[in-house]
Amino acid sequence: MSASRIVLTGSTGGLGSSVLKHIQSLIDPSRLIISLYNPSKAPNVPEGVEVRKGDYSDASSLEDAFKGAQILLLVSYPSIAHELRVKNHINAIDAAKRAGITHIFYTSLAFAGPPTSSESVAAVMRAHIDTEAYLKDSGLNFTIIREGIYSESYPLYLGFFDPTSSSTEVTIPDDGDGGIAWASRDELGEATAKLIVQAADDTSFQYRNKTVLLTGPEAVPLNAVASILSRLLDRNITVKHVEVDEYATSSKALSKLGPEFAKLWATTYIALKQGECAVVDPLLGLVLGRRPKEMHAVLEQLILDTRSAQGSIDQYAK
């Protein structure tokens, strides 16, 4: 029997590009297909990797892009519009079924607590929950990966904190010191790639028709993140809590998110307060074969990189 072929979506995005990077070292390039909205923007890939056009809003293009593959990585569509996001996911799932895909990996999000739960108060999780339900009823084999909250995305959660500014106060809704099991995005991509290849090469793949949770090794609340940053930046950064409505109408939230998404994003802090992101699962470390990076280590590298970049800018600005 010939080896299963794998088709990846979202390969130009943050998580998808990490999956692509790591999967290339695990399988022969001839087994890999990349489905992109704009194939002319395809990343550099080894000879043998096939690049096809696949548009989430065009089901026929997706069907053509998926043909000949058995496993699909469906990276969630990047939109804040709930109905559009779910519709595009359904387009992809239905197209995969028509194209002969037998197993879909879907990149969900690590809200809702344990992987057995399908309840969340976070607006950002609603499209994922709807997609998860549709995928489970599709008749296809599936693995839903609730990808951990990216460590690198901490500014979004910490009131759009900018380490290059002189700011010493962060304003966010009360998160109740609910921990976040932060995970390195690149390690999530690496683990996702390994799980996909395991499914392709092992008929007894243990996570078939399962929802799994990939998280970092510890749950770190936002107050603790601010404390780590205080040490790294050598200035005291405090967290000020405000009401959800006040946050959603603040000038910073409106300028960064717009009025519609600011209200939706504010529900994230209610979810944090309820512990939705505090569940620590050992699976990421098991798949990687090592302890995942801790939040403080990622922050140290991010701050170091920021300072190096600023130093380069200053050098050429003289």
Tens-digit pLDDT profile for residues 35-45: 999 999 888 89
Question: What pLDDT, on the 0 to 100 scale, is given for residue 83?
Answer: 95
Please state which CATH number belongs to domain 155-177+217-278+293-310. Answer: 3.90.25
Q: Does residue 197 register a pLDDT over 90?
A: yes
Q: Report CA-CA distances (Å) from 295 to 98, 153, 164, 183, 300.
A: 42, 11, 19, 7, 9
Q: Does residue 160 register a pLDDT over 70?
A: yes
Same fold, 6-151+183-214 and 155-177+217-278+293-310: no
Question: What pLDDT, on the 0 to 100 scale, is given for residue 306?
Answer: 85
pLDDT band at residue 123 using 50, 70 and 90 as cut-offs: very high
Please state which CATH number belongs to domain 6-151+183-214. Answer: 3.40.50.720
Using the CB atoms, write b or e for 244-271: b if 16+ within 10 Å: beebbebeebeeebeeebbbbbbbbbbb
The per-residue pLDDT for range 46-80, each reduced to its tens digit, is 999 999 999 999 999 999 999 999 999 999 999 88
Q: Where are the domains of the chain?
A: 6-151+183-214, 155-177+217-278+293-310
Of 201, 16, 15, the closest CA to residue 103 belongs to: 201
Query: Which residues have a Cβ under 8 Å from the Cβ of 316 and sit 6 or more positions away?
Result: none
